[in-house]
Amino acid sequence: MSNSRSGTGRGRTPSRRIGTTAAERRGSTARDTNGKTYRGGRGPGRTGRRRSVVVALAVSLALTLCGIGVFAYAANLSGGLDRFDAFNGLDDRPDKVVDGSLNVLVLGSDSRNPDSAEGSRADTIMMLHIPADGRKAYIISLPRDLWVPIPPSGNGSYGGGEDKLNSAMSHGGIPLMVSTVENYSGVRVDHVIEIDFEGLKAVVDALGGVTMDVEMDFTSIHKPYREFTAGDQTMDGTTALDYVRQRKQFPDGDFARMRHQQELLMAMMDKATSAGIIGDPSSVSAFLESTIDAMKVDEGFDLIATALQFSDLRSNDLVFMTLPNKDTGWVGDENVVLRDDELAPTMFAALRDDELAGWVKKHPDAVK
């Protein structure tokens, strides 16, 4: 089902460098209040590792409660999750090839970003795959600017065509995004999780703030035009969201915005599992309730069962990859990400057939 796409190659104009970077002095990092450090990277190939925290945020509710033994509370909050019909009107879907494996499409959006005119387009798109044997978890990042064929929408409002992957959301909502990913990859999607970064403000505040390592000195382009200074800065929810929304001041633009979002989520997850939070019932309650408010799941998603499926996995069991691509290129006047037509189809085939372990062994450079 995957079709090769091409464009007229044309280099990107380098962005103007602004400010003094913290990375110049000690490397691009983000730290939580417990002192853990996260190394940043440039470009799409270096952000896949941090995208796993979107899934971690989604299942952190049950994982945290497993640790303190209050399953009844977990079940009650799970019942309050906002749900949507992710598969409404979808026909001719790929078959499920291997029973027991799990494929979850994870979408991250920032619907209230004052700097965004893209409506409901997804900012972060990835596929989480847990094989039938449960020994690993594979997180495959799909660049939002990936040039793909988009099917017609189920309600007939969009007739289909070629566009950036993230535009499927604005053309036909989550069902069309699911259809686009399935048609492009040949892999059946079992569940969908959607996270809105706007809702993360309350989560950060419930955690008592997080500490981020600001890359460089700059002024926010959004009111009230906060001044950010390079180095460690403890932020409340509003300030943290303002920071991760910035992109125009950074040399790598949108890749910087994505990197900072992932660093924020990583800092949040470590803070959420710290002894100070788990040992304080009121903090646990505030964190869990705000997390529930920040996410939506498909109608059939079982939060507790999914968390238990993760329970035996450790950090060294997680494998992070980005869809093989040729970096950026041009299709008409659109600056897009073009897939590697040789490697990408083989990755999708391995994902479909639950054989990613063998694919990774054969292509070790694909692992980030």
Rounded CA separation 347/45 (Å): 15
pTM of the model: 0.72
pLDDT band at 368 (very low <50, low <70, confident <90, very high): low
| Segment 81-131, tens digit of pLDDT | 899 999 999 988 999 999 989 999 989 876 655 544 344 567 778 898 989
Residue 145's CATH number: 3.40.630.190
Q: By three-state DSSP, how is residue 177 classified? A: helix
Q: Dump the DSSP string for 63-111.
A: HHHHHHT-HHHHHHHHTT-EEE-TTTT--SPPP--STT-EEEEEEEE-T
237-245 and 254-272 helices, crossing angle to 10°: 150
pLDDT in the model for residue 318: 74
Give domain status of residue 2, yes or no: no
- Weakest-pLDDT range from 166-170, 211-215, 289-293, 341-345: 289-293
Q: By three-state DSSP, how is residue 195 classified? A: strand
Rounded CA separation 209/155 (Å): 43
> H/E element holding 29?
strand 29-31
Give domain status of residue 191, yes or no: yes
Rounded CA separation 111/90 (Å): 25
| Segment 344-367, tens digit of pLDDT | 999 999 999 999 999 999 999 887
Closest alpha carbon to 212 in 253, 245, 177, 179: 245
Give domain status of residue 8, yes or no: no
pLDDT band at 41 (very low <50, low <70, confident <90, very high): very low
pLDDT in the model for residue 154: 85
Check: CB of residue 7 under 8 Å from CB of residue 146.
no
Q: Domain of 216? A: 23-366
Give domain status of residue 5, yes or no: no
Which of 7-11, 147-151, 239-243 has the highest mean predicted lDDT (pLDDT)? 147-151
Give domain status of residue 12, yes or no: no
Give domain status of residue 14, yes or no: no
Give the residue, 278 or 170, on which the prediction is more confident: 170
Give domain status of residue 9, yes or no: no
- Weakest-pLDDT range from 10-19, 71-80, 147-156, 239-248: 10-19
The structural domain count of the chain equals 1
Q: Indicate whether 169 pLDDT > 80.
A: yes
Q: What percent of the chain has pLDDT over 70?
A: 69
Q: Indicate whether 67 pLDDT > 80.
A: no
| Segment 244-280, tens digit of pLDDT | 888 888 887 666 776 787 678 767 766 776 656 666 7
Give domain status of residue 15, yes or no: no
Phi-psi sector, 334: left (phi>0), alpha (psi -120 to 50), beta = beta
Rounded CA separation 365/368 (Å): 8
Rounded CA separation 266/260 (Å): 10
Q: How do beta strands 191-196 and 295-298 pair?
A: antiparallel
pLDDT in the model for residue 40: 39
Rounded CA separation 364/248 (Å): 34
